[in-house]
Amino acid sequence: MIESMYGRSSHAVTETSNIATSQNSPAVIHCTNLAALRDLIKNNKAVAIDFTSQTCGPCRVISPEFDRLIGEANANGTKVVGVSVETPVARDISAEFQIYATPTFMFYHNGEKMSEFKGADRAELKSSIDLLVYTAYPPHPHKKHPFRAINELVMAPAINFVVSSNLDVIFKKLNEIVAENKVGFDTDALETLQNWMKATDYRKNTILPHNWHVVPSKLLLALPVAKLFPLLDILRLLVLNSTIRNYFVEGDKDFVYVQLIIRVLSDDNAGMATKLMLSKFICNLFDPTDHKQSLKLLSTKRVHESSSRDEITRLLVETLLAPEYQLRQASALLAYNIGWSQAQIRQSPAPFDEAWWSELIAAISNAIETESTSEKANDETAFRLIGAIALLLVYSEDPVLELAQVVEVPLHIKHLTSKAHKEHGNWIKKLASEIDDLL
């Protein structure tokens, strides 16, 4: 109540440090030390500073807006450091930066002061932060070009495998495999999960069976890899429910899906059925409309000497060139979702990982070459492969565009488009033309 009346406490810093992070906005740092502030300005590409005071009424109004705008600026992977300086407490900072009135806002790019203004002007604050973001992280130049077909893909949702299996058949198969391998588990819990999926619209139901994840998680570890396919088919359907998808992508502290990929790809006897259902399961972890979730799904955070992005990429590269056309088709949709998510992120200024994108482009190029010579070529696979590489190339940078030419992307696409495509034929031709313009 006191904070709502008078603003944040000037003592909201740790005893061991003069810098603390705001609970409301992790991007905003409270700073009372001149040397620390100088380091922040020197070592960060974009810094916005709110010089404020708890006794200043307009400051109490505009500071929460500053926190919110800094949070929005960092939503897509950009890094804008917001700093809040309580001027009555940090008198040496006030003297150094010549602060005579609050609120005062200053904006720094690469250590150099860009602009400043005084007063609680929301429109001016938003405009100044937008300009700082634009200057530090300019949008991709291809965003200005009318690549209509590619832009339609960017605006469309990601792809999920939504066709339902016969639940009675798939649960029966799972129970048979469990019995064959003599795995002890709670049969009632599995039956409850089956009944819940049959009796409700499980994709939209927000009330989940109690401890729904316990039995599937146990079986993922207990069953032989080659026998995981019915369980993965069930999980593939379950993650169409946004709450369950969030459990795996955001709430799964043990990164079950990462360990699962490692286990499957390390087993020479994994079999096509398990790899196919694993690819579909990972594909369905992409939220069709929320690309920000892919930032966590394709995280580079190291877990067990690997990361989720490393393992998903490894799965993609291996399955794109699989001899089985069903597996290549599933992998093509996974490649498409990865390309879709990256195009969404790169529309806004966002960091670019040249090595990773190069690996993706090379792998998809090889897959297009394989598809162009396959006797069992599939129109859906061809469309998604070309769509995936188009979505990546449109927001790539020059080194990756040059790599695309080195690995003969235009030639492989030309061979693929020379084949008759009854389904998606117009799309394939339009995308091929726009890729040719890009390169």
pLDDT tens digits, one per residue of 214-259: 889 889 989 999 999 999 999 999 999 999 999 888 876 667 888 8
Whether 154 and 292 map to the same domain: the answer is yes
What is the CATH classification number for the domain harbouring 359?
1.25.10
Whether 112 and 13 map to the same domain: the answer is yes
What is the CATH classification number for the domain harbouring 68?
3.40.30.10
Whether 32 and 126 map to the same domain: the answer is yes
Whether 243 and 295 map to the same domain: the answer is no
Of 251, 276, 305, the last residue of a domain is: 251
Whether 6 and 95 map to the same domain: the answer is yes
Note down the domain range covering 342.
140-160+286-439
Closest to 394 (Cα-Cα) out of 345, 328, 331: 345
Residue 271 falls inside a structural domain:
no
Whether 228 and 297 map to the same domain: the answer is no
Looking at residue 240, its pLDDT comes to 94
Q: What is the count of structural domains for the chain?
A: 3
Cβ contact 345:76 at 8 Å: yes
Residue 32 falls inside a structural domain:
yes
Looking at residue 143, its pLDDT comes to 60
Residue 268 falls inside a structural domain:
no
Q: What is the mean pLDDT of residues 4-30?
A: 45
Whether 151 and 23 map to the same domain: the answer is no
Whether 326 and 355 map to the same domain: the answer is yes
Residue 56 falls inside a structural domain:
yes
Residue numbers annotated as active site = 56, 59
Question: pTM of the prediction?
Answer: 0.72
Residue 74 falls inside a structural domain:
yes
Closest to 159 (Cα-Cα) out of 90, 93, 80, 240: 240
Residue 354 falls inside a structural domain:
yes
How does pLDDT run across 305-340, given as a tens digit for each residue? 788 999 999 999 999 999 998 999 999 999 999 999
**What is d(CA 74, CA 80) in angstroms, rounded to the nearest whole number?**
6
Residue 381 falls inside a structural domain:
yes
Whether 316 and 433 map to the same domain: the answer is yes
Mean of per-residue pLDDT scores for the chain: 87
Looking at residue 114, its pLDDT comes to 92
Closest to 99 (Cα-Cα) out of 47, 51, 50, 32: 51
Whether 68 and 82 map to the same domain: the answer is yes
User: First CA to last CA across the chain, in angstroms?
Assistant: 59
Whether 12 and 151 map to the same domain: the answer is no
**What is d(CA 70, CA 61) in angstroms, rounded to the nearest whole number?**
15
Whether 197 and 301 map to the same domain: the answer is no
**pLDDT band, residue 141 (cuts 50/70/90):** low
Residue 318 falls inside a structural domain:
yes
